[in-house]
């Protein structure tokens, strides 16, 4: 069976600047994938010895992946500016260009040192000006995204991509070095699988406590069916599972730190995943409504996230009101 090649698929996009940018991101992720495969042999595991702007310890691979993407997009003509989890501020590249890229260079970095799944998440927004690049220009609702996706570095390396017309999933062929189209994502409305970090249970809002308690009661409880739990602890891998076979994934609000209304970052985690999940037939919300309708306030903003099977997301969100 022959599988379409990513670069051929990109040629059919109306916006060739977008196609060039997506090809650049995909190529850079191939390099990251190669580095990850060498792992300990390449001396790239462990801490980098610094913290990012959010006070999180950076791993060497966070820094390596960030530098690779930053430098590749720096040479990519259609890109006006970038924002990254690992950069304190937005970075202006060229005022004449039309696209803004936000990215999490290596999501799930606590998995790096145990040779478990990690990924690169990206979101592409239209530029809003022809003057100097500012943070304000990036602060557009996720609905404005022109493309979003991630590359998952797992047993095989996979790219999930949306340009607003469904979600295509490509597998990196180690022989040809091409991303080949292997499936489309589709999230069934109902599920029997959930993903949440249960160790935070005592900090959640009452609505989430009740929602999860009902799932745990299984067939004897109000939901009348048994649920299974899965938790990779890398959003990119947990969302990949939801896109492949359904389920619900949550990183809800918790009461520990009033300055952190959630763990996940809006601009380069929740928004791109929200675009993918909606395009695959699911929902992605905060307790107030769809993530993609949120007006961002700052580039490293955090939000609570409930995403996946429509039946579960709407039930959980509804329990908040």
Binding-site ranges for ligand FDP (CB under 6 A): 107-110, 197, 233-235, 251, 263-264, 269
Q: Which is nearer to ligand FDP, 163 or 275 (CB)?
A: 275
Residue 108 labeled ligand binder = yes
CB of 201: closest distance to ligand FDP in angstroms?
A: 12
Residue 109 labeled ligand binder = yes
Residue 95 labeled ligand binder = no
Q: Which is nearer to ligand FDP, 72 or 203 (CB)?
A: 203
- Angular region, 49: left φ>0, alpha ψ -120 to 50, beta rest: left
CB of 197: closest distance to ligand FDP in angstroms?
A: 4
> Largest Cα–Cα distance of the chain, in whole Å?
61
Residue 164 labeled ligand binder = no
Alpha helices in the chain (DSSP H): 6-11, 16-38, 60-74, 135-138, 206-216, 235-245, 271-279, 310-319
Q: Which is nearer to ligand FDP, 79 or 275 (CB)?
A: 275
Residue 85 labeled ligand binder = yes
Q: What is the dihedral of CA 66, 71, 76, 78, to 10 degrees?
A: 60
Q: Which is nearer to ligand FDP, 107 or 193 (CB)?
A: 107
CB of 206: closest distance to ligand FDP in angstroms?
A: 20
For 236, counting Cβ atoms within 10 Å of its Cβ (0-12 exposed, 13-18 middle, 19+ buried), the class is buried
* Alpha carbon 8 to chain centroid, angstroms: 24
Strand ranges for the chain from DSSP E: 47-51, 57-59, 79-84, 91-92, 99-107, 118-126, 147-153, 157-162, 168-172, 179-184, 193-195, 228-229, 248-251, 264-265, 283-286, 289-290, 302-303, 305-308
CB of 268: closest distance to ligand FDP in angstroms?
A: 9
Q: Which is nearer to ligand FDP, 269 or 278 (CB)?
A: 269
Distance (Å, whole) CA 51 – CA 246: 35
CB of 264: closest distance to ligand FDP in angstroms?
A: 6
In sequence order, the 6+-apart residues with CB closer than 8 A to the CB of 221 are 214, 215
CB of 165: closest distance to ligand FDP in angstroms?
A: 27
Residue 37 labeled ligand binder = no
Q: Which is nearer to ligand FDP, 82 or 152 (CB)?
A: 152
Residue 107 labeled ligand binder = yes
Nearest residue to the partner ligand FDP, using Cβ: 235
Whether the Cβ atoms of residue 160 and residue 167 lie closer than 8 Å to each other: yes
Q: At what angle do helices 16-38 and 60-74 cross, to 10 degrees?
A: 150
Residue 238 labeled ligand binder = no
Please give the annotated binding residues, written as ranges.
85, 104, 106-110, 197, 263, 269
Please give the annotated binding residues for substrate, written as ranges.
107-110, 197, 263
Please give the annotated binding residues for Mg(2+), written as ranges.
85, 104, 106-107, 269
């Amino acid at each position: 069976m022959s599988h379409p090649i990513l670069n051929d698929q990109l040629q059919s996009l109306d916006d060739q600047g977008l196609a060039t940018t997506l090809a650049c991101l995909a190529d850079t992720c191939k390099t990251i994938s190669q580095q990850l495969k060498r792992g300990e042999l390449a001396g790239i595991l462990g801490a980098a010895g610094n913290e990012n702007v959010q006070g999180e310890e950076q791993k060497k691979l966070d820094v390596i992946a960030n530098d690779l993407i930053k430098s590749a997009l720096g040479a990519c003509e259609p890109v006006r500016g970038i924002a990254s989890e690992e950069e304190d501020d937005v970075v202006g590249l060229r005022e004449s260009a039309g696209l803004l890229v936000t990215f999490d260079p290596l999501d799930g970095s606590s998995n790096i040192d145990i040779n478990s799944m990690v990924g690169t998440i990206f979101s592409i927004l239209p530029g809003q000006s022809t003057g100097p690049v500012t943070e304000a220009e990036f602060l557009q609702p996720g609905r404005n995204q022109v493309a979003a996706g991630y590359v998952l570095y797992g047993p095989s390396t996979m790219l999930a991509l949306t340009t607003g017309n469904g979600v295509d999933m490509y597998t990196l062929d180690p022989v040809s070095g091409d991303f080949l189209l292997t499936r489309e994502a589709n999230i069934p409305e109902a599920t029997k699988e959930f993903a949440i970090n249960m160790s935070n249970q005592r900090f959640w809002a009452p609505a989430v406590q009740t929602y999860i308690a009902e799932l745990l009661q299984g067939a004897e409880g109000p939901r009348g069916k048994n649920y299974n739990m899965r938790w990779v602890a890398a959003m990119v891998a947990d969302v990949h599972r939801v896109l492949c076979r359904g389920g619900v994934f949550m990183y809800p609000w918790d009461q520990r730190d009033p300055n952190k209304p959630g763990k996940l970052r809006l601009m380069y985690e929740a928004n791109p995943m929200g675009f993918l999940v909606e395009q695959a037939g699911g929902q992605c919300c905060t307790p107030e409504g769809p993530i993609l309708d949120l007006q961002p306030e700052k580039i490293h903003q955090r939000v609570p996230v409930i995403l996946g099977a429509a039946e579960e997301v709407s039930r959980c969100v509804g329990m908040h009101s």
